[in-house]
Amino acid sequence: MPHRLGLPDLGVGVGLRVPHYRHILAERPPVDFFEIISENFMIQGGKPLHHLDRVLETYRVVQHGVSMSIGGPTPPSDEYLAGLRKLMARTRTPWLSDHFCWCAVPGANLHDLLPLPFTEEAISVVVDRAKRIQDTLGVRLALENASSYMSFTSSTMPEWEFISRVADAADIGLLFDVNNVYVAAYNHGFDPYEFVANVPHERIVQIHLAGHTNLGKYIIDTHSDHVIDPVWDLYRFTIERTGPVSTLIEWDDDIPRNIAPVLGNFVRGRYTKRREQWRGPRRDDETTL
């Protein structure tokens, strides 16, 4: 199986957020690609689509969703999938991502990425839906490991086994959130390196990095700060196994005004260094990436 399921390495990107529109459109900073939250643009027209079109003039854009609820009590509606398809025609996203989670019940969106039980039944449900969505939309689906704060006593396997088995059985990609691995490992007391070592690396089509808030007893995945060094270390360990893969910084709270050039250059420097060295031995003077 080819690396990234044959999908392109887009380089280093940043989540497209409203406070940066003016700067991005005026300065066109050297960010390799942007990621959008699909649901923010699944509308008929207006300013969001106008801005998206201006961004698309210069940048590759990938679509990331938060409402698929692939493990929920009901599958995503035809209307929702039609909205995704319409937006895909606009962005020409090379893959379509959402989360291993559930977030809706009939008649209500709970607006949170709630964890799934890691069971045979949940594997069966998610695999069937993932296959159907991937076939229906004609794009590679990539599901993301979510951060979590509770787990189900009914789970019969570790999270890494659950996402690996779904990805293999449905033949989908993984959007691998390295910060989420770190957060979940901290909150649940498992080894994040064991998690990374055991997933199907050739299925990782994109990586997420983000900052979080450590409250001591547990970590909240706030996306409100810089990526910490232990997460960079875990990222290094990951791309030693995947090879170069599109990497994106998520920053959603306390957003610095000029995050795009700051993070774009910052991440690019780290990532370029890693690309040069990922097969080489770790030097004594290299404490992080």
The yes or no reply on residue 221 touching Fe ion (CB under 5 A) is no
Q: Containing H/E element for 241? A: helix 229-242
CB of 279 to Fe ion, least distance (A): 27
Closest CA to 80 of 16, 127, 136: 136
Query: Dihedral through CA 16, CA 20, CA 26, CA 32, nearest 10?
Result: -40
Q: If you count them, how many residues does the chain have?
A: 289
The yes or no reply on residue 208 touching Fe ion (CB under 5 A) is yes
Residue number, 60 or 208, with CB nearest to Fe ion: 208
Q: How many residues of this chain bind Fe ion (CB under 5 A)? A: 2
Stretch 65-94 residues interacting with Fe ion (CB under 5 A): none
Residue number, 144 or 202, with CB nearest to Fe ion: 144
The answer to whether 174 touches 167, Cβ cutoff 8 Å, is yes
Q: For residue 281, which phi and psi values (nearest 5 degrees)? A: -70, 150
* Residue 238 neighbours by CB under 8 Å, 6+ apart: 176, 178, 196, 201, 204, 207
Stretch that binds Fe ion, among 90-98, 108-116, 201-209, 277-285 (CB under 5 A): 201-209
What is the pattern of x (binds Fe ion, CB under 5 A) and - over residues 156-195?
Answer: ---------------------x------------------
Largest CA distance in the chain: 56
Residue number, 86 or 238, with CB nearest to Fe ion: 238
Residue number, 203 or 287, with CB nearest to Fe ion: 203
Residue nearest to Fe ion (CB): 208
What residues line the site for Fe ion (CB under 5 A)?
Answer: 177, 208
